[in-house]
Amino acid sequence: MITTERTILRPWRDDDLDAFAAMLADPEVQADAGGPVDREAAARKMARYRDAHDRLGFTRWVATDPDGVFLGYVGIMPIDAWHPRAPNVEIGWRLTRRAWGAGLATEAARASLADGFARCGFDEVLSYTEATNHRSQAVMRKLGLDRDASRDFTSTYDGHSWSGLVWVAKPPRP
């Protein structure tokens, strides 16, 4: 578990599925990810995150507030072998609309990156988003990630074609 002033990042539990599926069914939340997904697709995604945690010790963590209210997810995942930026790891986040605009993604992602570098020993962590996703790009800038246009890509996933702008996080210098 990773805690910040306003968030708790923890492994997934069965009872997270309802809130997770509701978030992924929101067209506005999913605007940059090919649109809303159904409960079955949300369950598959949650299973992937749980499996990553069980196998690797890191994942896209459930993000809650200190009272346990579901905010979304934030964390590091291995990049799938089919992806143009594989092999590597990527930090990502997706929050419920009510959690937008308060700096929670930045706060939680900063803590997740610190854990990835300190505990997992990553040499670098990528992050990517579409050119139109200005919210995520703002988070990347606030985190101090470096833009690396030489790694930008176009890919198709689940029938959704998109172009990713790549940003890179490096471990803090001693």
Q: What's residue 35's pLDDT? A: 86
Kindly state the percentage of the chain with pLDDT values over 70: 98
CA distance 26 to 100: 13
Q: Alpha-carbon distance 103 to 86, whole Å?
A: 29
Whether 158 shows a pLDDT value over 70: the answer reads: no
Listed residue (119, 26, 113, 18) closest to 61, CA to CA: 113
Helix (H) or strand (E) holding 49: helix 39-56
pLDDT at 117: 97
Q: Are 51 and 122 in contact (CB under 8 A)?
A: no
Quick check: 174 pLDDT over 80?
A: no
8 Å CB contact between 50 and 76 = no
Check: CB of residue 142 under 8 Å from CB of residue 44.
no
Residues facing 72 on adjacent strands: 63, 95
pLDDT in tens, 118-132: 999 999 999 999 888
By C-alpha distance, which of 69, 68, 87 is closest to 78? 87
Query: Using CB atoms within 10 A of its CB, is residue 67 exposed (0-12), middle (13-18) or buried (19+)?
Result: exposed
pLDDT at 162: 74
Q: Tell which phi-psi region holds residue 115, choosing left (phi > 0), alpha (psi between -120 and 50) or beta.
A: alpha
pLDDT single digits (tens) 38-86:
999 999 999 999 999 999 999 999 999 999 999 999 999 999 888 888 8
Cα–Cα distance for residue pair 71/94, rounded to 1 Å: 9
pLDDT at 81: 86
Q: Is the pLDDT of residue 34 over 90?
A: no
Q: For 140, phi and psi rounded to 5 degrees?
A: -60, -40
Residue 155 pLDDT exceeds 90: no
